[in-house]
Amino acid sequence: MQNLMKQWIAMMGDDPEREGLRRTPERTAEAWSFLTRGYQQDPAALLNSSMFEVEANHMVIVRDIEIYSICEHHLLPFFGTCHIGYIPRGKVVGVSKLARLADLFARRLQVQERLTNQIARTLMDTLKPEGVGVIIEAQHLCMMMRGVEKQHSRMVTSAMLGSFHDSVATRNEFLHLSNHYHSG
């Protein structure tokens, strides 16, 4: 990667050996390793490491989870918040694992639609809850810095599985508690 970065800097018209850029290929390789660390993590292992049996069937929500990802189309960042809710059916997962799961999938080359679905589907398949809801609201630098250059645009995606999909009341409760419910 370091050799590719040197070539890339030269192709842009700058000198990769000048003082300010001399260590840029090394720093860039380290940064990309960090930004894409989700490829080295197993979502099922993450969740199974902190799963607990409980007698609870009320909605569990963690909202305003900060996410940072890289758009696979332009390799530019997108960032925002993720809200995750589920209704347990005998098992809950440690609350920090929900944030870690969002981060695990966000730290891969992504599109927001797939990221939202991956989080929801993994929770549904691993926990086997009554239902799962995930909402992500993000700003995309590929829209803000280039192309249409719309600085205040946000993309909102949602995935509703199980009772969150089938029951209007459950879905509305999740939307209300995650501050995404707008009546009338």
Return the active site residues: 71-74, 112, 140, 142
Q: How far is CA 180 from CA 11, 79, 150, in A?
A: 45, 18, 22
- Measured between alpha carbons, how far is 86 from 61 in angstroms, rounded to an integer? 7
E strands within 2-130? 51-53, 60-71, 77-87, 91-93, 109-110
List Cβ neighbours of 142 (8 Å cut-off, separation of 6 or more).
71, 73, 74, 76, 78
